[in-house]
Amino acid sequence: MYKILVSDPISPEGLKSLTDHKDFEVVTNTELSESELIEKIADFEGLIVRSQTQVTADVIAAAPNLKVIARAGVGVDNIDIDAATKHGVIVINAPDGNTISATEHSMAMILSMARNVPQAHKSLKEGKWDRKTYRGTELYNKVLGVVGAGRIGLGVAKRAQSFGMKILAFDPYLSEDKAKELNVIRATVDEIAEQADFVTVHTPLTPKTKGIVGEAFFAKAKPTLQIINVARGGIIDEEALLNALNEDRIQAAALDVFETEPATESPLVKHDKVVVTPHLGASTVEAQEKVAVSVANEIVDIFENGNVLNAINAPRMTYNEINEELKPYIELSKLTGEVGIQLLEKAPRELHIKYEGDLALDDTSLITRTLVSGVLRQDLGERVNLINALVLLNEQGVSYNIEKNTKHRGFSNYIELTLINKDTQIKIGATVLNGYGPRIVRINDYPVDFKPEQHQLVINHTDKPGIVGRTGQILGEFDINIASMHLGRTNLGGNALMVLSIDHPVNQDVIDALFQIEGFNNVRSVELDIPQDTNYNI
């Protein structure tokens, strides 16, 4: 008998696969404080929560029998994922249960904003008959910019098309063929900023998407722009949005999510030009039942069959359970994927993975999944793990192939990743050197030799005297310290590559200043997730 604790209000109908199952005992207690939860959790193998319960490291540490934490919803901000992974606890969610609800709420926000429904409602309730003040805007023949063309973003696009709207869509994995099939136009974020009458954002919140709609976006926007966010707080820079509204650089906004929630004190909540709701995107009877059904069914599947479909982390394999020779290559593959995707200007359509040397004789499936996870997490965020990496790669329409060769080419083991988007490609060669750890030894045609660090600059330039000194001078002016420098070139006076490890990340001002150096062709900042320990969680 498996004991499952439900600590937040969950649809009883959605939990029937658990409550009706002879092998599961379901206990519902939605009034537990953290200390009370710590006291009770030791007896349970499973925990189901929504957003109310805070599943802290202390809670997880007090649960020696806990195998699964299930979030009946999408966001897992209230769960300490690292602590769960460390203790071997699987964290699952229901990523698709709220798709329709979030899509429909997005349309509700667009329409409410365009027609001033909340403001007119409030005015009439106060006894005013004011038709002039609340004159609205038609959606027909307007341009809707969709930033993030996943299930919800494309669902909004489809419904907006029924209103006669033209769709501009940005998503790094949206192909030209897919765009034509959906009758949408692929666009950059800048093109959306310049052309859209309405904008809706539907990306995960990652370092790449945080503030993707910010000051530069609003500087290009039409003064009639109306923008909504029913995805994640932080995708729209709230300070930049507030300034754009106050300065009449855009017309209106509608927000369901905020950087800090509850957001009752936010100036945007009180702003006359902003329609707001308290994170209601998934708050429908149907969505709550769907997410409950999803996590309940998966809990049964995990305990009875060992199947895991929607893990946020992945089942833990201890460091000692991994083949000793493969251990350093797991981390190397993650870093290789992270470096490669940040050097490619567009999302890849193909991945070629090559293993050479003794490594080619081993089972490299774990290394492949780790490498693909490193590539995808830049755009898809933390929902990518070793279980779903290859599935998500396929969902994005990216093909991959693996080549193995036992011959040695200068290294006892060698990994090479090639990311391709039409006529653009990036090739990263990597190995592990005894005593030196992970090394990147090739970028495209340039032989290099550097240890991947947290903050790096990769610069393509013409090989000429003075460039290195000028680079150091400019970084010094911005108080950026250089930890190490590595140079590669194809021939004297030809094209060259400079890789700098630096102590702090750089902003666009630094990159712009570096571009003023004569002979610089490309400057890219690379930020890596460098692990703090040697545990490999898979």
Q: Which residues are identified as catalytic?
A: 232, 261, 279
- d(CA 296, CA 507) in angstroms, rounded, equals 45
- d(CA 234, CA 119) in angstroms, rounded, equals 25
Q: How many CB atoms lie within 10 A of CB 319?
A: 14
Contacts of 56 (CB under 8 A, 6+ apart): 34, 80, 83
Q: Is residue 517 classed as helix, strand or coil in its secondary structure?
A: coil
- d(CA 468, CA 464) in angstroms, rounded, equals 9
> Pairing relation of β-strands 495-502 and 143-147?
unpaired
Phi and psi (nearest 5°) for 534? -110, 20
Burial grade of 532 (CB within 10 A; 0-12, 13-18, 19 or more): exposed
Q: Is residue 229 classed as helix, strand or coil in its secondary structure?
A: strand
Contacts of 140 (CB under 8 A, 6+ apart): 163, 164, 165
Contacts of 446 (CB under 8 A, 6+ apart): 488, 489, 490, 496, 497
- d(CA 34, CA 85) in angstroms, rounded, equals 20
**Of 435, 436, 431, nearest in space to 447 by CA:** 431
